Homo-oligomer: A and B are copies of this chain.
Amino acid sequence: MATVWHEVLHVCKQSGARYGILHTPHGDFETPIFMPVGTKANVKTLIPEEIKEVSDGLILANTYHLWLQPGDEVVKEFGGVRGFMNWDGALLTDSGGFQVFSLSKIRKITEEGVEFRHHKSGEKLFITPEKSISIQNNLGADIIMSFDECPPFNSSREYMIDSVDRTIRWAKRGKEAHKNPETQSLFGIVQGGGYKDIRKHSIDELEKIGFEGYSIGGLSVGESKEEMYEMLEYLKDIMPYNKPRYLMGVGSPDDLIIGSINGVDMFDCVLPTRNARHGTAFTSEGKIQVKNQNLKLSKDPLDKECKCFVCQRYTRGYLNHLVKAEEILGMRLISYHNLYFLRNLMHQIREAIKEDRLLDFKEEFFKKFGYK
């Protein structure tokens, strides 16, 4: 038995969305699930008890950042990311590939790996599929990712084929380099941008190598929502059924719903915490800018329907003041609320799947939230 596996317990008769259980060494989780991002071994502003309250108990940390600081060897000394940050829930790490391609302007891709410059210091660095896995072995997450290139969505067909084939070879090398298959499950990452046949090729080849889950990379990277949704619809029928499907870097409410409709089991995104630090809060009636002048005297909670402690206790007026005063507490309280909002959204999505009404739920939610 794999260390991480996924059971589909119900398929929504209305939408085809999957409700299931993701089993991991540190907990079993209902899916579809949203994973808060703890980039540098902390979900920004929050302590583990709070992360438990606003998540389902599975979070993500970033390989790239922790490799560069404090270093994966250091993190390993503290018992991996979980020990380091005192998190007893489950953990996933990405491959670092996305950051190498998005944060670093100067890079050179070869068959061996990627040479790039540190996004702050400018230091020259080199990462290979083996190195990515080695770092992730040290970080010790339950679920780890194959090192991939994340090419722009609209790369040329020729470049995309080359890139995807290389990423497949990298995935194979990564699997061979993986030292802890008994404790850490390795996922392959499907790439291919907007080319359906290349996506199909990517899936087929990754399946031949064999992974414990399949991630969808290269979406939500600048393409239009229509393009993303079309690809998700295509992937829905060709992704391996019995393995967990993880849509990387996706986390806006509409995308979580549409992703679920298209059979995605796992999501992650910095959006709820990043939005919070910029004073944007999710509410059941849409996003609000907390520092808007018209909230100054409001005694309402951020979201009247929300049961989180921030909404039970704090007014929009007080939060408006904290954001305007640039108080850290404001970022903290809105981060908590935004994550709680997404946790609750995922709960609603799962209930709707079980009740075979996810398309109805989508309509209701979109209307209320103000999506077109």
Contact = CB atoms under 8 A, between A and B. Distances in A.
Contacts of A327: 40, 42, 44
A321 B45 contact: no
Given A40-B327, A69-B325, A297 B74 contact: yes
Copy number of this protein in the oligomer? 2
A45 B332 contact: yes
Contacts of A162: none
B78 A45 contact: no
A297 to B, nearest CB: 6
Given A77-B297, A299-B78, A328-B331, A321 B41 contact: yes
Contacts of A241: none
Interface of A: 40-42, 44-47, 65, 69-70, 74, 77-78, 84-86, 296-297, 299, 313-315, 317-318, 320-322, 324-325, 327-329, 331-333
A57 B225 CA distance: 51
Given A41-B318, A74-B296, A318-B85, A328 B324 contact: no
A62 to B, nearest CB: 11
Nearest to A71: B296
B78 A325 contact: no
Contacts of A317: 70, 74, 77-78, 84
Contact of A329 (B46, B65, B297): B46
B315 A78 contact: yes
A325 B85 contact: no
A297 B325 CA distance: 36
Nearest to A331: B328
Given A70-B296, A328-B332, A331-B328, A321 B86 contact: no
Nearest to A46: B329
A317 B78 CA distance: 8
A279 B116 CA distance: 31
A328 to B, nearest CB: 5
Contacts of A331: 328
Contacts of A320: 70
Contacts of A40: 321-322, 325, 327
A332 B324 CA distance: 19
Nearest to A330: B42
Nearest to A317: B78
A42 B329 contact: yes
A42 B65 CA distance: 31
B70 A324 contact: yes
Nearest to A86: B313
Contact of A44 (B65, B69, B329): B329
Most B-side CB within 10 Å, residue of A296, A317, A324, A328: A328
